[in-house]
Amino acid sequence: MDEQHDTTPADETAEAPDTGIYGEDGVILATFLAHVGAAIADRDILVLKQDVGDLHQSELGDLLEALLPEQRRALVELLGKDFDFSSLTEVDEAIRLDIVDNLPNEQIAQAVQELDSDDAVYILEDLDQEDQDEILAQLPFTERIRLRRSLAYPEESAGRRMQTEFVAVPPFWTVGQTIDYMREDNNLPERFSQIFVIDPTFKLLGAIDLDQVLRAKRTVKIEDIMHETRHAIPATMDQEEAAREFEQYDLLSAAVVDENERLVGVLTIDDVVDVIQQEAEEDLMRMGGVGDEELSDTVMTTSRARLPWLTVNLATAILASLVIGLFDATIQQMVALAVLMPIVASMGGNAATQTMTVTVRALATKDIDIYNASRIIRREATVGALNGVFFAVVVGIVAGLWFADPSLGQIIAVAMIINMMAAALAGILIPLVLDRFGIDPAIASSVFVTTVTDVVGFFAFLGLASWWLGIG
């Protein structure tokens, strides 16, 4: 967290926060939130500009999410030109749209011109096409073309996340010419770590790190010190794949090229960190069957998003109930079975979830491939068998003593081993099969894995009990 500088005058009112905006728990201080809320209610623009205007974009984003909807709209209105639009990249999509939809397109167009291109695209991509066109029409020609090109790339691609501001020079320039160019051109990005080398058609030839430029003499030609860009990223590459390139090769920035190998932008580590966090959150949410749900979504939106997979869960639960129905006579004869069978299903479900979580994450990071898949499958099956034996002994003894029936303990012990092994295999094979057929395993795995463990667990336990008791 960046250190906050105290800009509060000595005669500030008691309600103003003393230091920073966060408490020790990392949550915005209630005193600061109340102070801002009071200033909004009083429409005290001077206080808001003083206490809110200099916040970092991430801090302002946290503040916007903490305020009530009518407060955040009023805050944006009162700050006017002093509102940092880059903070909108730090908030939920619903909050971002709520703010933007209440602003005139002229104000948005003015603000977009002051943003980095990647931040501008992030804000514009969620707007209706009509609003996009109206805003873009008010921008200078060059900037309009750059943003349109970025918006034309697929969602969640490197082209959407790239910055179109970069430093590029021809190979025949000298180091001295390059340095003078960087000092004199006011249109260059504020921060960069690489200089790219291009030919007259903008085809990427290579790159130079800034430390190389600083160490070389002014008379040295760029082509003599440049290196090939071995990790240029296609603009259509999925952002998760691009993030994996950064992770694998420890990149700080990477050139983004189009289908003709022409330089169109640069992807930087700060954007990639956001992508990694976003993709991790998406995988976690999808495994829970909640998709792209956000905390700021309305009740109806959240309810509609959750209904589909709850419906699928209902269907699979009915399937498990049908299996139980096949052994109703067995359950009537030995009521203890009804008491014990949830244990078998629950243990299998938890074991399968453990395996499935590891597998889905490994698939996302490309740690599982054709070379190690069979070894990992054997490992998980062995782990399932070992855990099954351990819990079979524990549960068998408990069940036998509980109901004073050793045979019942033996039945549940065998069923436990069968279901734990089935759970291990289902937890790894189902995600692998779904991934093989192009279905996101993070979305669909949990439903199918739970169904397998329930059906196998109930069938094994009740089937063994029926056989043991001789009930046909």
How many CA atoms lie less than 13 Å away from 151 in the CB half-sphere? 21
Backbone phi, psi, residue 114, to 5°: -95, 0
Residues 146-169: tens digit of each pLDDT: 999 999 999 999 999 999 999 999
Contacts of 471 (CB under 8 A, 6+ apart): 329, 330, 333
Residues 187-212: tens digit of each pLDDT: 888 888 899 999 999 999 999 999 99
Look up residue 191 and give its two tokens: 């921060």
Mean predicted confidence (pLDDT) in 441-468: 87
Q: Please check whether residue 149 is in contact with residue 106, taking contact to mean a CB–CB distance below 8 angstroms.
A: no
Mean predicted confidence (pLDDT) in 83-99: 92
Q: In what order do the strands lie in the sheet containing 263-268?
A: 233-234, 253-257, 263-268
Mean predicted confidence (pLDDT) in 296-317: 78
CA-angle at 75, arms to 116 and 83, nearest 5°: 25
Backbone phi, psi, residue 83, to 5°: -75, 130
Measured CA to CA, the distance from residue 192 to residue 155 in angstroms comes to: 25
Average pLDDT across the chain, whole number? 88
Q: Please check whether residue 411 is in contact with residue 469, taking contact to mean a CB–CB distance below 8 angstroms.
A: no
Residues 207-224: tens digit of each pLDDT: 999 999 999 999 999 999
Structural domains of the chain, with CATH = 30-161 (1.25.60), 168-287 (3.10.580.10), 299-469 (1.10.357.20)
Look up residue 314 and give its two tokens: 């209902």
Burial annotation 366-393 (CB, 10 A radius, 16+ → b, else e) = eebeeeeeeebbeebbebbeebbeebbe
What sign for the dihedral angle of Cα 375, 378, 384, 386? negative
Give residue 367's pLDDT. 84
Q: Please check whether residue 159 is in contact with residue 236, taking contact to mean a CB–CB distance below 8 angstroms.
A: yes
Instruction: State the residue for tokens 């089937």.
Output: 463
Q: What is the DSSP letter of 91?
A: S
Measured CA to CA, the distance from residue 89 to residue 279 in angstroms comes to: 16
Global pTM exceeds 0.85 = no
Q: Please check whether residue 229 is in contact with residue 166, taking contact to mean a CB–CB distance below 8 angstroms.
A: no
Give the start-end residues of each E strand in 270-310.
none
